């Protein structure tokens, strides 16, 4: 099977983290999201993955310099300007010379245990030109909403409707099977959205089908969901194989090699390689990335510290993401879904509440 991974977006909702790293390269419990996505595809027999790139393509090429990962051959298709989702698929398929194949297409910011084999089988059974995987969500208004008939024929594709206008909570899970006719039919030379243009057209032609699934699924594209992706792994909502190498203490805290835990570490916590929590620090329900440091008198809760982040004496971090090598100054308070960028400095005593730093 050949897959196209849409990974060219700017990740605006995760700024400023995505100024330094494109969204799919951000770590989720120490592993770049894209590594997790490619491993999932590999487990279903995908042999080639075409990375549809636009924003910061070098980050991907540098991460996988030999063009292979998890036994999958990687092809890099770099757009000169953003072509939107369908334009990107067309460009990537032509660039990689796979436009004549049935393609698996995935949004690169989705983490899921979706059964790709069942989706493929269902697709072959319908004879339709395209099949979308569906997943239920609490609030469908941030997604593509997809009502179907009992046989899975798609009745409408409504991208990001108002909450009270969504006819169902089953949404586009961002995994598709596309026949070559779909790629052929995508107009060239301009941005084209698969959600707003291609899928609605296929609905009109009775060529679009969808299959429900209740397995683990998460779009990591907002700070809240980027945090959740990591807690889902540490809390065991997902299988243990998603954890990096570490030891589980008797109290359930996960500790990687060389981590130094002198302070209080409680709840669902992972402390990465060579990270440290100093005496007198309090840490609860966290992912502390490799070589990160929490100083004496600091408190970190419900948060992720990316590798090399430092929380200085007496600072508090709650419900927030601290970027790689960022420094939270002594006595500062960072809370409520704040996002601190890579290598950013939050001044001593500063207060960030639901804030982006730098903006």
List interacting residues with Mg ion (CB under 5 A). 109, 219, 221
Find which of ligand GDD, Mg ion, none residue 227 binds, CB within 5 to 8 Å per kind: none
Find which of ligand GDD, Mg ion, none residue 344 binds, CB within 5 to 8 Å per kind: none
Q: Which of 21, 46, 93, 109 binds ligand GDD (CB under 6 A)?
A: 109
Find which of ligand GDD, Mg ion, none residue 8 binds, CB within 5 to 8 Å per kind: ligand GDD
As measured in angstroms, the least distance from the Cβ of 231 to ligand GDD is 19
Looking only at the bridges linking them, the beta strands covering 333-335 and 316-318 are parallel
Q: Toward ligand GDD, which CB reaches closer, 7 or 186?
A: 7
Report the 10 Å Cβ neighbour count for 174: 23
Residue 143 interacting with ligand GDD (CB under 6 A): yes
Q: Which of 89, 107, 106 is nearest to 98 (CA)?
A: 89
Task: Provide CB contacts within 8 A for 241, sequence distance 6+.
Answer: none
Residue 223 interacting with ligand GDD (CB under 6 A): no
Residues within window 181-210 making contact with ligand GDD, judged by CB under 6 A: 195
Report the 10 Å Cβ neighbour count for 97: 10
Burial of 136 (0-12, 13-18, 19+ CB in 10 A): middle
Residue 154 interacting with ligand GDD (CB under 6 A): no
As measured in angstroms, the least distance from the Cβ of 84 to ligand GDD is 5
As measured in angstroms, the least distance from the Cβ of 138 to ligand GDD is 13
CA distance 271 to 286: 8
As measured in angstroms, the least distance from the Cβ of 297 to ligand GDD is 39
Report the 10 Å Cβ neighbour count for 65: 7
CA 339-340-345 angle, to 5 degrees, is: 160
Contact string 6-45 vs ligand GDD (x = CB under 6 A): xxxx------------------------------------
As measured in angstroms, the least distance from the Cβ of 54 to ligand GDD is 5
Find which of ligand GDD, Mg ion, none residue 35 binds, CB within 5 to 8 Å per kind: none
Does residue 292 have a cis bond before it (omega within 30 degrees)?
A: no
Residues 112, 175 contacting (CB under 8 angstroms): yes
Find which of Mg ion, ligand GDD, none residue 7 binds, CB within 5 to 8 Å per kind: ligand GDD
Residue 226 interacting with ligand GDD (CB under 6 A): no
Residues within window 49-68 making contact with ligand GDD, judged by CB under 6 A: 52, 54
DSSP string, 214-248: -S-EEE--SHHHHHHHHHHHHTTSS-GGGSPS-EE
Q: Toward ligand GDD, which CB reaches closer, 165 or 262?
A: 165
Residue 171 interacting with ligand GDD (CB under 6 A): yes
CA distance 274 to 281: 16
Contact string 68-107 vs ligand GDD (x = CB under 6 A): -----------x--xxxx--x------------------x
Question: What is the phi-psi region of residue 189: left when phi exceeds 0, alpha when psi lies from -120 to 50, beta otherwise?
Answer: left
Task: Provide CB contacts within 8 A for 65, sequence distance 6+.
Answer: none
Find which of ligand GDD, Mg ion, none residue 108 binds, CB within 5 to 8 Å per kind: ligand GDD
Residues within window 264-323 making contact with ligand GDD, judged by CB under 6 A: none
Q: Which of 32, 128, 221, 308 binds ligand GDD (CB under 6 A)?
A: 221
Burial of 16 (0-12, 13-18, 19+ CB in 10 A): middle
Q: Cα 227 from chain centroid?
A: 10
CA distance 100 to 234: 41
Interacting residue ranges for ligand GDD, rule: CB under 6 A: 6-9, 52, 54, 79, 82-85, 88, 107-110, 143-144, 159, 171-172, 174, 195, 219, 221
């Amino acid at each position: 099977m050949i897959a196209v991974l849409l990974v060219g977006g700017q990740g605006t909702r995760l700024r400023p983290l995505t100024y330094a790293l494109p969204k799919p390269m951000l770590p989720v419990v120490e592993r770049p999201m894209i590594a997790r996505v490619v491993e999932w595809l590999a487990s279903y027999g995908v042999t080639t993955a075409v990375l549809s790139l636009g924003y910061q393509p070098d980050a991907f090429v540098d991460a996988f310099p030999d063009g292979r990962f998890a036994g999958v051959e990687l092809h890099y298709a770099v757009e000169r300007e953003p072509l939107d989702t369908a334009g990107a698929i067309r460009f990537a398929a032509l660039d990689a010379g796979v436009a004549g194949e049935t393609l698996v297409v995935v949004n690169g910011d989705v983490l899921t245990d979706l059964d790709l084999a069942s989706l493929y089988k269902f697709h072959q059974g319908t004879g339709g030109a395209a099949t979308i995987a569906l997943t239920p969500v609490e609030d469908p208004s941030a997604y593509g909403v997809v009502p179907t008939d009992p046989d899975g024929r798609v009745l409408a594709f409504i991208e990001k409707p108002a909450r009270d206008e969504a006819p169902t909570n089953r949404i586009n899970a961002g995994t598709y099977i596309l026949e070559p006719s779909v790629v052929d039919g995508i107009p060239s030379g301009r941005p084209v959205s698969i959600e707003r243009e291609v899928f609605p057209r296929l609905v009109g032609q009775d060529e679009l089908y969808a299959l429900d699934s209740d397995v683990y699924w998460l779009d990591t594209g907002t700070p809240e969901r980027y945090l959740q992706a990591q807690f889902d792994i540490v809390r065991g909502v997902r299988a243990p194989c998603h954890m990096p190498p570490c030891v589980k203490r008797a109290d359930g805290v996960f500790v990687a090699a060389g981590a130094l835990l002198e302070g209080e570490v409680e709840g669902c916590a992972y402390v990465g390689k060579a990270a440290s929590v100093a005496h007198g620090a309090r840490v609860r329900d966290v992912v502390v990335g490799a070589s990160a440091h929490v100083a004496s008198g600091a408190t970190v809760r419900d948060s992720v510290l990316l590798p090399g982040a430092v929380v200085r004496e007496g600072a508090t971090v709650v419900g927030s993401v601290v970027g790689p090598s960022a420094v939270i100054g002594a006595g500062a308070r960072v809370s409520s879904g704040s996002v601190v960028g890579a290598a950013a400095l939050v001044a001593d005593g500063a207060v960030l509440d639901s804030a982006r730093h730098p903006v």
